[in-house]
Structure 1
Amino acid sequence: MRRATVRTTHATPESAALVAGAVEPDNTDSMATRVDGRVVETTIERGTTGGLHSSVDDYVVNLTVADRLVGADRDATGTETTAATTTAETDTTTADTTTETDEPTEQTADHTDTTHHNHE
């Protein structure tokens, strides 16, 4: 199982709660979000690295939109806001790295694996 934890720190505990409430409906069964003061923490577990990458990408997009909307709302009230800071940890210690294909792979500049299909 692959696991990533994304933590964001927000301007106020209220902002953190609003952001968490905005992203939680999009969470899958493999995701858990919690709030601790100004921190929103979401842990994502997936069976494959590609699945984990995709889920983290989707989550970060949702998180970015939610944080901007909460910040825009706070700006409208005249309250000072700060952008969320994000940290992420990835735990692949339990990852099974066996590949079930005989097709060659190549690492790209962004460190993703690309499978090449030989059509001979």
Structure 2
Amino acid sequence: MTEEIRRTATVRTTHADAATVAAALGPDETDSMRTRVDGDVVACTVSRPTTGGLQSTLDDHLVNLRVADRVIERARSHLAADADSTDALDSTDEPQTTDTDTQPDT
């Protein structure tokens, strides 16, 4: 019985919210990948039988990593902007509402 030679690489990246980035990557992981979080670092180890397969899997991982990181950054910016605009409102800035269930007097 011959033992299969595998190609292995580990990618380590630093993120403001590493756990959220790793969780976002989870659905796209295959059996050949193992991702773990250590503080602000996401480390993904990929092991494939061919160099081309390793390269392809790493390329997919890096694209997914970049998308996850950008989405999280934009969400944080959006939440921060919402918090700033909420802080700027005072009680006189409340939106006007109408009661759509009330029938007009006739």
Give the TM-score normalised by the residue count of structure 2: 0.68
Structure 2: gaps (5+ residues): 1-5, 82-106
Mapped partners of 2:34, 2:27: distance in 1: 11
Consecutive unaligned residues of structure 1, counting only runs of 5 or more, are: 80-120
Identity of aligned residues (%): 59
Counterpart mapping for 1:16-55 below 5 A: 16-55=18-57
Determine the C-alpha separation between the residues in 1 that align with 2:40 and 2:79. Answer: 19
CA distance in 2, matches of 1:75, 1:7: 25
Structure 1 match to 2:10: 5
Q: Secondary structure in 1 aligned to 2:55?
A: helix
Distance 1:41 1:49 in 2: 20
Which has the higher relative contact order, 1 or 2, with Cα contacts under 8 A spaced 6 or more apart? 1
Which is richer in strand? 1
Structure whose alpha-carbon radius of gyration is higher: 2
Q: List per-residue Cα deviations over 1:30-88 (Å, max 9, x = no partner).
A: 10000111110000000000000000001101101000001111112229xxxxxxxxx
Q: After TM superposition, where is structure 1 displaced by more than 2 Å over at least 4 residues in a row?
A: none
User: Residue 65 of structure 1 corresponds to which residue in structure 2?
Assistant: 67
How many residues matched?
76
TM-score by structure 1 length? 0.61
Q: Which has the higher helix share?
A: 2
Aligned-residue offset at 1:24: 1.2
